[in-house]
Every structure is written in C-alpha cells, then in structure tokens.
A and B are shown apart, each in its own frame.
Chain A
Amino acid sequence: MRIDADPSKAWEMKSFKHDRILTTCKFGPSGDALFAGSFDGKIYRWATESGERSVVGSHVTWISAILPGPANRIYSADFQGNVHAWELGKPEAAWTIERAHPGWLKAFAISPDGTLLATGARDGVVRLWKAADGTPVKELKGHARDVYSAAFHPDGRSLASGDYDGKILHWDVASGTLVRTLEAPSLVTRDPDFLCDVGGVRALAFDGKGGRLAASGLRDAKSNTFCPGAPSAIVFDWETGKPMTTVKVKDEKIDGAMTALRFLADGTLVGCAEGQSYGAISFWKPGQAEPFHTINSQSLYEVDVRPDGMALVGAAFTSIGSGGNGRGKGDYVPNGGTLRLFGLFEKPAAPKPPPKTPAPKKQG
C-alpha cells in the first residue's frame, strides 16, 4: 500500500546523540544513513536502522557543511575555508582543497548530476570546482559581501547564491556569467545603532521542478547581540524573479534566523529556525504564509529530507552541564547535539501485545 507524506502527522522515529554541537546534517543518497558535521571537526555517519556510528573524516576545525554525492562520496567544508572529499570507508581524503576561500566557508552546493561543487564565503566570490578531483572550474564575482548560501537549479544550468546584503545572484553555470539579481532586502537589518548588519540570505532551496526558489534568514532584527528577530523565508517565482510569498513561523519565541530550507515533493516548504530557548521545524503549503504544522525542538541548525520524502532529519542543540552567564553549578563541558529523525507520515499503531495467558491456578 502506498503511503503519501503527511508532515502534519510527523513523529519522532529515532534520535542519535553526540557530545558536541552538530552543525549540519544530511541523508545519504539511499536514505539508510545519516551524515552530520560537528564542532569537533569530524564528519559522522549513523546507520539509521542500527544506530551504529562511524567517522567519515576529520577537518582541522568546525565543519560548516556536508554534501553526500554519488558513488559513496561525501564532500565537507569547514570554518577555515577547506574542502575535503571522502570515500566511505577510507580514512584519508580522496582530495583536498586547502583554503578554497580565506575563512569560514558558508555556501556549499552540489550540482544535480553530482559533477560540480559550488562554494562561497566571506570573500564574496563563488567558486565552482570539479567534484571528481577538486580542480577549479570558474570564479563567479558579483557579490559585494559574504556569500552565505548557494543552490543549483534542478536543471543544472543555473546557480543561485545568496549574500549578507540580502541579494541573490543568478549565475549561468556554463558561462559563469551573472544573469540577474533577485532582491531580498528584508532578510538583512541595518540599524545605525548596531555595530554591524544582522541577517543575510542564510539558506536557498529550489523546489523539485525548479519553478520556485526559497531564500531564508531573519527579518526585523532588534540587536546585534542576541540577534532576535523574525525568522522568515521569501519564495520567489524563478521565471519572473518576483517574490510570491513571505513565510513566517508561528511562535514568537522562535526568534533566530531560519538557517535551512527544503521542499517536499508536493511543494511543501520545510524550514528550521532557532530560538532563545528552543527552535522549530515548520511546514508551509505553497502560497501560505502561516505554517500548517510545526515541530518544536531544541534550536535546530539544519534539516534535510530523505530522498523518498517520507522522513526528515534535524541537527538539534542539546544542553549539557551548566551554561549561561558565569560558572554555574554543573560540569563545565561543551554542549552537544542530537540528530532527530522524524517520519512524515502517521505513526503506525503499535502492534497489540499478545493476550496474557492466565496464570495457572495454584493447586490447593
């Protein structure tokens, strides 16, 4: 019997804990494994059935992004601008690009055919690399500030990259030329009282057919210290480049940036955002600003959808020991992370336990 995805019935199937914060998470291509990058500089693989964890590879610093590719390849990027390619089961990197960018590599995308990687960082340059061996292909110059996000169009011919200024640049991949600029100015807050702008296009995602592009971040930031504001995403009509819908979250306590976006096969948009105390995964129907369903969680940094569309994973924060201002009472150890795996369908009813066999009467 075929079951359709129904996010409103989402339920937590499993969770996998880690003793350091998990920055990013992805399903493997077959959906039977989860990958995550961590503050400890490692990329991990969890087998979803058994929960067995293995280390895919290590970086010199925090992992900023990972991308599972075809043929058991995993690509990873870090906060110092390095990129590695891994082959599962081999401890040494298949290839390495040292300092692909000078510093924190924030934007990382793979082309639909798996042959190209796109990277972006604080230097404002988008770079294309051959996924096979890491050789440079093109440099795309046009952003004035940090590149935060990138996504290939499903047709593979276009690339979108989002920046700190709230601009989304549309590139022609073959020629490397800038086609046009989409504007998302509400995703950056400029205030003369702030020490710096707050926001940027933190995530980009195309829907399956490539008709819509969603760009997310934070609107109406109130400070550059706690960075509270309204997590939000703007959905653009890709053909016209015009904004169609601006989506928001339901709970005002979720006041951090919306840091990840995905589309489900039916066009439902999924986004995750952080809050001061907790975060949420929200689901929006096309054209709707209000989410039709929300899953509350600890703050979340990324979500991904299983290739079959029936499950979703989130990289969530996990509090460990004492925290807050000054030294508290508990152990002073780093906070951790949890991969939370949700089924996007109604939870199957638990099989009824077998009827109890009445205990034999004692013989008097």
Chain B
Amino acid sequence: MSYGCGGHDHALSRRQMLGLLAGAAGGLLAPNVAQALRSKQRQVLMIWLDGGMSQLESWDPKPGTDHGGPFRAIPSSVPGVHVSELLPFSAKRVHQLAIVRSMQTKDNSHSIGVGRIQRGDPVNRGVEYPYMGSAIARLLDKGDSGLPPYVVIKPGSSGFLASDAGFLGGRYGALALGDGRPPIHLQGGISTELEEARQSLRRAADARYRQGRGDADVDAWEGCYDSALKLMRRKELFDESTVTRSERERYGSHPLGRHLLQARRLLEAGVLFVKVSSYHWDTHADNFAMHQELMPQIDRPFAALIDDLDQRGMLENVVVLLMSEFGRTPKINQRWGRDHWPEAWSLALAGAGIKRGVVVGKTTPDGSAVAENPYDIGHVFHTVFRAVGIKPEETFYKHNGQALAIARDDMGPIAEVLA
C-alpha cells in the first residue's frame, strides 16, 4: 500500500480512504511512502512535442506502403527493430528505450487533446485533474534539493503555471522557465538578502489578504515566489560557463537541444519532475520537409540525454517519457501534410522502472489502426506512476472529502514496459 501524503493531504491510501468514508479518521496521519523512496529518489522527465510528432517519420515507419511517406526505415540497436531514417542517433539508443507503437486515444483536436492527455484523461468526477507533473509533485516526496518539484522548460515567457495543478491547488503548479532562462530574479543584480527582506514583507501581506478569503489564489501566488526563491540559491544551475562546448554540440544549439540540456542539469540538481515543451510539431503542410528539419532537433539531444543519464547512473532513477498529444494521419493531404491522428501513434519511455529495448504493440500494415495491444493515456499514467514507485490502485487523492483515483481506475499499467 502506498500513497503520497504531506502537510496538505490530497492523497491518501485505500485503507485511509475506507476509514475516512466510515467516518473513523479525523486527521490523516499516514506513513509517507515517499520516505521509503527517498534513498533512491525517482524523478521524471517528460518531453512534450506539442502539435503531434509523426509516428511514421519516427518510431513506426512504414516505407513502401500506401501512407508510408518517402523516407527509409533504418535498423536500430535492437535486432529486428527499425525506426525512421530521420532518427539516426536515437536508433542507436533503442536498446535503452521502450517504444509503444499502439497508442490509441480519443481526441483529434489540440484544444481538448492537450489538456486531456496531460491530465491522464480522467473519468469525469466534477474536478479538474492535475497534469502529470503536478500529480508527481503531489504524490512523491520532493527530496531535499530545496528546488521546486515541478519545472517546465518551454519557449516563450516564464511564469508560474498554477492551472497545471487542477484541483490540487496552485502550490502544485509548475515553475515555467521561458527558453530555459532562470527566473528574472536571478538575472538581475538584486542580492539574496534584499530579496529575502522583500519576500518577508510579501508574506505578511499575503497572510493578511488570506484572512477571510479562499486559499487557492494565495497558495499559487506564494508557490510562485517560493519557487523563485529556492532557485535563487542555485544560480549555478543556469551558469552557462559550466556547460562544456562538447555538451552544447551534442545537444545542439536549437531551443529543444538547449532545453533538454538544461533539463538534465535540473534533474541532476534534484528537481522531481521536469517537462520540456517544444511547440509547432503540427505539420499540416509540407510534413516531409518539416520533419527533415524537426526530427534532428529531437533526435540528437534525446540521444545525448539518454547517454548522459546512463553515464551518470541516472537512468536508474529518472523516468523519461517522450510524447505528443497524438500522432499524425497516415493519409497525406493536398499540402503534403499529415493531420491529427489519435487512432494509432507512438511514444517512447526510458529509465527507472522501464524495460530496455522493447517495442510494444503493433499497427496495421497501412499504419491507420492499432493491430495489437492498444493503450490509452490512462495506461501511460499508470505506467509512469508505477515506474516511480506509486501504486495507483492503492493511492487516491482526497478532494472535499471525496476519494479520487490518481489514474483511470478502468486501466492499468503497460505491463510489457515495466521492468
């Protein structure tokens, strides 16, 4: 039996849930399972290619078929497994990966799909479920790094993404580092002491504001400042001079490469969950020319990252998940683009608790449907939770006295990829 439980109890065990429902429990005092994991703190890196990477130009190539596109399939480091020629570096690391070729989800629009996928497509319980990063931040012990548990590296602006936390409340939101840059506090000349004094004044104002009002907004506000303060003590994490030229070259100079390198540094420093987002993978036009340009931007740094995590022994502790909200249509449209395709697509996993060198599921010869072992995003949430040591069937969120499953209770993990 396991559950995450900290000072603000949103998670509780099945036993506790039963006790609560029976009216037996007053305060929820539960052993913190995260304590048991602390000696080997599990972390997660989610790489999110927003818009939808083509499975046919990546993990599930179908050369020579009706919808297969013009590119070749190349052998990987696992005998018999081929990937697209647009992934030459990752192809040599397939023995470190678990590739799922049979993702079958529901939404074919970004507006619904992105949120639903990142929240694990929960059954409607009348609440907004947290994104995976917020869920992990809530369910796992944060460790002793003193760093914010959930960091998003993305193009564009920085900020605090309170909405990621859903019903868990703003404090489990994400600290977003625009373009991987540190929060603005770290970029100027303000001293830590002066900032502490300012924060003390702010906390006093927050406490006054909180009186008689709901906590959620203030929690989010404070969470944002606290995260920034924690990072202020770790300025070296953003010190470019500590990155070697060789590292920069291996990851590449484009945003995704730089952001994945920054993600590795944050994971090394102990951040619990890092999400690296890259936008504009939605190749409705010129899919093949675009994928020629886009795939190297994930291929090379992804391979470098797997190598680095492996060499540092971090693949034992870090779960890596590379995915989009859906794949792309097998059918090629009038602009030589591929549209949205939730019916049959691929993702890759690696690292802690994940088998290495396996390919799960199969699509039909034309790539338009899943032929074997269909999996939905709920299965992926189960799998990641399992890989980090959380048992979804025994762990629940508590919200307004209601026990809520942390992942779809009609689904389970992708057993074939769990080590």
Contacts and interface: CB of A to CB of B under 8 A. Distances in A.
B244 interface: no
A325 B366 CA distance: 17
B332 A334 contact: yes
A195 B108 contact: no
Interface stretch (B265-273, B279-287, B310-318, B346-354): B279-287
Q: Which of A194, A225, A333 has most B Cβ within 10 Å?
A: A225
B35 interface: no
Interface stretch (B13-21, B335-343, B374-382, B404-412): B335-343
Contact of A325 (B109, B286, B290): B109
Q: Which of A41, A196, A323 has most B Cβ within 10 Å?
A: A196
B70 A325 contact: no
A224 B280 contact: yes
A335 B109 contact: no
A314 interface: no
Interface residues of B, number: 45
B28 to A, nearest CB: 43
B285 A226 contact: yes
Given A80-B72, A193-B155, A323 B339 contact: yes
Interface in A344-364: none
B292 interface: yes
A283 interface: no
Interface stretch (B61-69, B145-153, B197-205): B61-69
Interface in B45-89: 51, 63-64, 66-67, 69-72, 85
B329 interface: yes
A148 B332 CA distance: 21
A122 interface: yes
B285 A256 contact: yes
B334 A225 contact: no
A63 B343 CA distance: 29
A158 interface: no
Contact of A79 (B70, B278, B368): B70
A333 B66 contact: yes
A274 interface: yes
Contacts of B294: 195-196
Interface string A2-35: 0000000000000000001100000000000000
Contacts of A298: 334
B108 A326 contact: yes
A319 B333 CA distance: 8
B372 interface: no
A75 interface: no
A124 to B, nearest CB: 13
Interface string B85-114: 100000000000000000000001100000
A338 to B, nearest CB: 12
Interface in A301-343: 317, 319, 321, 323-327, 332-335
A224 B63 CA distance: 25
Contacts of A20: 66
Contacts of B63: 61
Interface in A253-303: 256-257, 274, 276-277, 279, 298-299
A245 interface: no
Interface in A44-86: 60-62, 64, 78-80
B331 A195 contact: no
Given A195-B280, A327-B343, A62 B331 contact: no
Nearest to B109: A325
A246 interface: no
B343 A326 contact: yes
Interface string B247-280: 0000000100000000000000000000000111
Contacts of A327: 343, 368
Contact of A323 (B331, B336, B343): B331
Interface string B137-160: 000000000000000000100000
B70 A256 contact: no
B334 A227 contact: no
A255 to B, nearest CB: 9
Contact of B331 (A194, A226, A335): A335
Interface in A184-233: 193-198, 223-228
Nearest to B278: A195
A194 B69 CA distance: 23
Q: Which of B280, B282, B342 has most A Cβ within 10 Å?
A: B280
Q: Which of A78, A323, A326 has most B Cβ within 10 Å?
A: A326
A231 B280 CA distance: 21
B364 to A, nearest CB: 10
B70 A62 contact: yes
Contacts of B339: 323-326
Given A80-B72, A256-B285, A325-B340, A299 B335 contact: yes
Contacts of A195: 254, 278-281, 290, 293-294, 297
Contact of B341 (A62, A64, A276, A326): A326
A43 B64 CA distance: 15
A129 interface: no
B398 to A, nearest CB: 37
Contact of B332 (A80, A256, A335): A335
B61 to A, nearest CB: 12
Nearest to A298: B334
A317 B331 CA distance: 13
B91 to A, nearest CB: 15
Interface string B290-307: 101110010000000000
Contacts of B297: 195-196
Contacts of B285: 225-228, 256
Contacts of B155: 193
B342 to A, nearest CB: 7
A317 B288 CA distance: 17
A104 interface: yes
A299 B337 CA distance: 12
A317 B368 CA distance: 21
A354 to B, nearest CB: 44
Given A195-B278, A225-B51, A122 B108 contact: no
Contact of B283 (A225, A257, A335): A225
A148 B274 CA distance: 39
A108 interface: no
A104 B70 contact: yes
List the 5 closest pairs (A to B, CB-CB), nearest first.
A79-B70, A326-B108, A196-B293, A325-B340, A227-B285
5 contacts: A62-B69, A80-B71, A195-B278, A195-B294, A225-B284
Given A195-B279, A225-B51, A332-B330, 5 more contacts: A225-B290, A227-B335, A277-B334, A323-B329, A325-B109
Interface of A: 20-21, 39, 41, 60-62, 64, 78-80, 103-104, 122, 193-198, 223-228, 256-257, 274, 276-277, 279, 298-299, 317, 319, 321, 323-327, 332-335
Interface of B: 51, 63-64, 66-67, 69-72, 85, 108-109, 155, 254, 278-286, 288, 290, 292-294, 297, 329-337, 339-343, 366, 368
